Structure 1
């Protein structure tokens, strides 16, 4: 994935100022920044949910997008959500979805309605829906909010598995304590994306 010269503003407030970002295959990368810095706006543009005022985004292969706010129908079960997304993605079965659910420890929730799931379990489903078609690039906005410690560790195990399989993972967060887990790191400040040290340094 590569984005070039992204500009965006809301009214008089400029959020992105000529931002460039390139995500390589097999990379686990992150963007950190203060609340309101424009991180979610950046992901919405990278996913195509929002059109930038100026600039281009190019994806080489399919992508998955996990927004910060879960997009679920409370009256539908987990199984219903998987079936809807399976149809949308043109998948033959739930095989990959079941693998992710096992990894995140909520495979026993298939027939529970989304409305009765805890916030953390809703986020697990949100992540599964973004991943179940095995995308080349995964865009994650605060993906582990609401996770308990064990699930948080499972998330990073999953992210490492994706990287090792040659996938590209971009995690956006206002927290900087996860940066040692990342191969690449950028800091978004005043609409500009600044490259930071590599995690191995």
Structure 2
């Protein structure tokens, strides 16, 4: 096993805010890792420390075999990074943006590489369209093309599909898996649970601390969460009342049904007892990754308070 990322004890503060606290992360080459956590939890700061855009206050480790403190420039040259917001030149065409990127990286065979990037991500027919006139999904494809045309070994994606329609998200993830199959390592922050489930593994960071790590299945299992699924007329309207009862960590409508979750099954049974009658029907189901996400958020302390 060769590790693309192997860091420990990463810390970063801004003023009196300890944004990243003793984060340890290992990721094998060619794997896709979903980076989950609430807003303000330190995901973006961690990504920037890994690729050399920020220097940790303390910590150590290697990224792509290079020391994150002493060899950050070497890491930058071998890393592709997509930011949360579209950051390319909107008054240039798709092709011009790619040509500019090729010159910035000092790439050889620039015309050939640009043509490969255009065709590889289905951008060729739109190559003369201004970037600023593109929809969210096409901007996303262009950003991915510029982040990968220098053939990086590591790809860091910071909430790359926010605000993009489901079809464009599916296409984007198909491309990510194709890239991973060539040996590219991907670390992607996301709030979409369906995207997290498409990753080989996930890491959950909450207010600066890494608190869960593994495959989606193992993280769900490690949560020791119990979820009861209830159905019946108007049951979704009971969420607030049931959520207030002892032992209930979450009561959330799922369409016309209701998910009630917690770690104490006996307490959950007691909480729903008044409604364990006709016309309501209850059964225990496997917790979803979203159930676990909310469970972990509820047990974390906001470091900005």
Alignment TM-score, normalising by the size of structure 2: 0.60
CA-based RMSD? 2.1
Match for residue 112 of structure 1? Answer: 129
Q: Equivalent of 1:38, from 42, 45, 60?
A: 42
Q: Judge conservation of contact 2:35–2:202 (CA < 8 Å) in 1.
A: yes
| Contact 1:2 1:58 (8 Å CA) reproduced | yes
> How many residues align structurally?
201
Q: Distance in 2 between matches of 1:132 and 1:83?
A: 10
| TM-aligned CA deviation for residue 55 of structure 1 | 2.2
Determine helix, strand or coil for the equivalent of 2:194: coil
Please state whether the residue corresponding to 2:164 is helix, strand or coil.
coil
Q: Is the 8 A contact 1:120 1:145 kept in 2?
A: no
Tell me which of 47, 54, 60 is aligned to 2:58. Answer: 54
Q: Which has the larger radius of gyration?
A: 2
Structure 2: runs of 5 or more not aligned = 65-74, 219-305
What are the equivalent positions in structure 2 for 1:41-190 lying under 5 Å apart? 41-60=45-64, 62-89=78-105, 90-93=107-110, 95=112, 98-102=115-119, 104-190=121-207
Secondary structure (helix, strand or coil) at the match of 2:192 reads coil
Instruction: Rate the CA distance shift 1:97–1:154 in 2: closer, same or farther, 3 A.
Output: farther
Shift in Å at residue 101 of structure 1? 4.3
Q: Which has the higher contact order (CA 8 A, sep 6+)?
A: 1
How far is the alpha carbon of 1:114 from its aligned partner?
1.8
CA drift at 1:97 = 5.1
Residue 104 (structure 1) shift: 4.2
Task: Note the alpha carbon deviations across 1:58-112, whole angstroms, 9 max, x for none.
Answer: 3227211111112112221111111111122213135555555445443322112
Gaps of at least 5 residues in structure 1 are: none
Structure 1 segments of 4+ aligned residues over 6 angstroms from their partners = none
- 8 Å CA contact 1:37–1:191 kept in 2: the answer is yes
| Greater alpha carbon shift after TM alignment, 159-168 vs 52-61 | 52-61
How many angstroms apart in 2 are the aligned matches of 1:43 and 1:151? 24
